[in-house]
Amino acid sequence: MTDLAAWLPRAVEANLRWMAPFGAFQQHPSLAVDDEILASAFNRLAERLTDNYPFGHPRYVGQMLKPPHPAAVLGYVSAMLINPNNHALDGGPATAQMEKEIMARLAGMFGMAEHLGHLTSSGTIANLEALWVARQSHPGKAIAYSADAHYTHSRMCQVIGVDGIAIAADDAGRMDLADLERHLSTGRIGTVVATLGTTGLGALDPLPSIVALARAHGTRVHVDTAYGGFFALIADDSADGVARAPFAALADVDSIVVDPHKHGLQPYGCGAVLFADPSVGRFYVHDSPYTYFSSDEVHLGEISLECSRAGAAAAALWLTLEVIPLTDAGLGQVLRANRRGALEWAGLLATSDDLVAYQAPELDIVTYFPARGSMSDVDQASQALFHAASELPPAEQIHLATYAVTAAALAARGHRITADATTARIIRSTVMKPESSTYIGDIHRRLVSLSRP
């Protein structure tokens, strides 16, 4: 593993070399801080930061969290010392160019022949931009999304004043095509949002069919693949890959959102939005007489709803992709390790009498629950397992997450459980660190022992 203790001083040294030709100057006394005071404050900070979960450890398989790759940290710190703003080329000439190169690589990964896009501070903001462009493109039309889509979409429809329509999910958590067609036939919908990698289950909406239905009704297609997008690198129907067809259809959609701060090994926050038709840039046109003056090239702020954005985020992603490229042999190997871990876990669940798989994983999210006879018992046992695993000694702790499901959803997946409650919590685990794949057997065996009555 790259030793940041050795590399981070080089970021400071590089910054000092760059600044030297501009001439020395004295820091204003108002900014001076006594080293002893700083040391005391830093020690308090370090102590407070211990109130976190071990996101980087292979036994942390809970939330969609993991530390950034050392290359991303090095890139971020190197640029942060300069603190460029990628809103305008005047504010971040080097990092703005890096961002444009990054977006071209992401567009290539998705098979986009042309593109317009930029990084954002989050997937939420990226999706807001995509839905805003959808509203501008089809004014007065509703936006449809799966009932299992991220809540961002219903919330952002409210923000931009557009009717949002939830399309039913099928018994695998994917958008139901019959219900979609029924709503499309009303003529109310201007854009359909498909999800490749739902945040709850990692489900892949049937994108080829969604595109065909949408086009037949003159409707746009936006794809929220914030979580699953980088799996396009291993979408080859192989034993340790993922389904090819949904990702191949990305070349035919109108816009795409992907989060490099999930499977792209980046720190928060780093989202991205891409549009297949560069002419949508017309919707962003605005006047800023004091901002865009050093270049006639397109400034990223001219095609973004956000103004100030950290150029350091672009530097971090650029450096990461230089050393771990968007190829099967590069970042794809990270994703394959995650996928193999999820598949191994699914296999262990298939032969277990104590833990039951909720459904098969399509990406690297595994869902399961303690074998019990009623909804209330499943809920209580899942919650007990969640706490018991996290309360083990530090060197043994397993960190999980829970996911609320309905009695109808359990029944649709063939689980015969007495419905004495409308919902129950089950366990949801994300195998999104490649190191976790070598721990799956041990994690599963320990959870089995903890799940027994």
CATH number of the domain bearing residue 136: 3.40.640.10
- Which has the closest alpha carbon to 149: 200, 220, 214? 200
Mark whether 315 and 354 lie in a shared domain: no
- Cα 52–chain centre separation: 20
| Structure confidence at residue 33 (pLDDT) | 96
- Which has the closest alpha carbon to 207: 168, 177, 187? 177
Mark whether 363 and 252 lie in a shared domain: no
Cβ burial of 32 (10 Å; 0-12, 13-18, 19+) is: exposed
Phi, psi of 197 (to 5 degrees): 105, 70
Range of the domain at 445: 331-451
Mark whether 104 and 214 lie in a shared domain: yes
Question: Is residue 109, in this structure, part of any structural domain at all?
Answer: yes
Question: Is residue 141, in this structure, part of any structural domain at all?
Answer: yes
Contact indicator for 82, 315 with CB cutoff of 8 Å: no
Mark whether 108 and 255 lie in a shared domain: yes
Interatomic CA distance for residues 210 and 180, integer angstroms: 8
Question: Is residue 59, in this structure, part of any structural domain at all?
Answer: no
54 Cβ neighbours under 8 A, 6+ residues apart = 60, 397, 399
Question: Is residue 302, in this structure, part of any structural domain at all?
Answer: yes
Q: What is the CATH number of the domain that holds 411?
A: 3.90.1150.10
Mark whether 218 and 285 lie in a shared domain: yes
Question: Is residue 25, in this structure, part of any structural domain at all?
Answer: no
Mark whether 407 and 273 lie in a shared domain: no
| Structure confidence at residue 291 (pLDDT) | 63
Domain endpoint, select from 294, 323, 352: 323
- Which has the closest alpha carbon to 427: 391, 396, 382? 382
Mark whether 335 and 364 lie in a shared domain: yes
- Which has the closest alpha carbon to 256: 232, 282, 234, 238? 232
| Structure confidence at residue 289 (pLDDT) | 64
Mark whether 346 and 238 lie in a shared domain: no
Question: Is residue 2, in this structure, part of any structural domain at all?
Answer: no
The alpha-carbon radius of gyration of the chain (Å, integer) is 24
Interatomic CA distance for residues 150 and 199, integer angstroms: 7
Interatomic CA distance for residues 48 and 120, integer angstroms: 29
Question: Is residue 289, in this structure, part of any structural domain at all?
Answer: yes
Domain endpoint, select from 323, 356, 382: 323
Question: Could you give the number of structural domains in the chain?
Answer: 2
Domain endpoint, select from 269, 291, 323: 323
Interatomic CA distance for residues 11 and 52, integer angstroms: 27
| Structure confidence at residue 300 (pLDDT) | 79
- Which has the closest alpha carbon to 422: 407, 411, 403? 407
| Structure confidence at residue 292 (pLDDT) | 59
Mark whether 318 and 339 lie in a shared domain: no
Mark whether 305 and 352 lie in a shared domain: no
Question: Is residue 437, in this structure, part of any structural domain at all?
Answer: yes
The pTM is what?
A: 0.96
Contact indicator for 146, 174 with CB cutoff of 8 Å: yes
Interatomic CA distance for residues 132 and 207, integer angstroms: 21
Mark whether 102 and 119 lie in a shared domain: yes
Mark the ranges of the chain whose per-residue pLDDT is less than 50: none
SS (H, E, C) the chain: CCCHHHHHHHHHHHHHHHHHHHCCCCCCHHHCCCHHHHHHHHHHHHHHCCCCCCCCCCCECCCCCCCCCHHHHHHHHHHHCCCCECCCCCCCHHHHHHHHHHHHHHHHHCCCCCCEEEEECCHHHHHHHHHHHHHHHCCCCEEEEECCCCCHHHHHHHHHCCCEEEECECCCCCECHHHHHHHHCCCCEEEEEEEECCCCCCCECCHHHHHHHHHHCCCEEEEECCCCHHHHHHCCCCCCCCCHHHHHHHHHCCEEEECCCCCCCCCCCCEEEEECCHHHHHHHCCCCCCCCCCCCCCCHHHHCCCCCCEHHHHHHHHHHHHHCCCCCCCHHHHHHHHHHHHHHHHHHHHCCCCEEEEECCCCCEEEEEECCCEHHHHHHHHHHHHHHHHCCCCCCCCECEEEEEEHHHHHHCCCCCECCCCEEEEEEEECCCHHHHHCHHHHHHHHHHHHCC
Contact indicator for 229, 202 with CB cutoff of 8 Å: no
Mark whether 254 and 353 lie in a shared domain: no
Q: At what angle do helices 152-160 and 123-137 cross, to 10 degrees?
A: 50
- Joined together, the tokens standing for residue 242 give 């993922």
| Structure confidence at residue 1 (pLDDT) | 59
Phi, psi of 262 (to 5 degrees): -105, -90
**Buried residues in 109-144 as b, exposed as e (16+ CB within 10 A):** bbebeebbbbbbbbbbbbbbbbbbbbbebbeebbbb
How many other C-beta atoms lie within 10 A of the C-beta of residue 434? 19
| Structure confidence at residue 347 (pLDDT) | 98
- Joined together, the tokens standing for residue 283 give 């919707």
Whether a cis peptide bond, with omega within 30° of 0, leads into 269 is yes
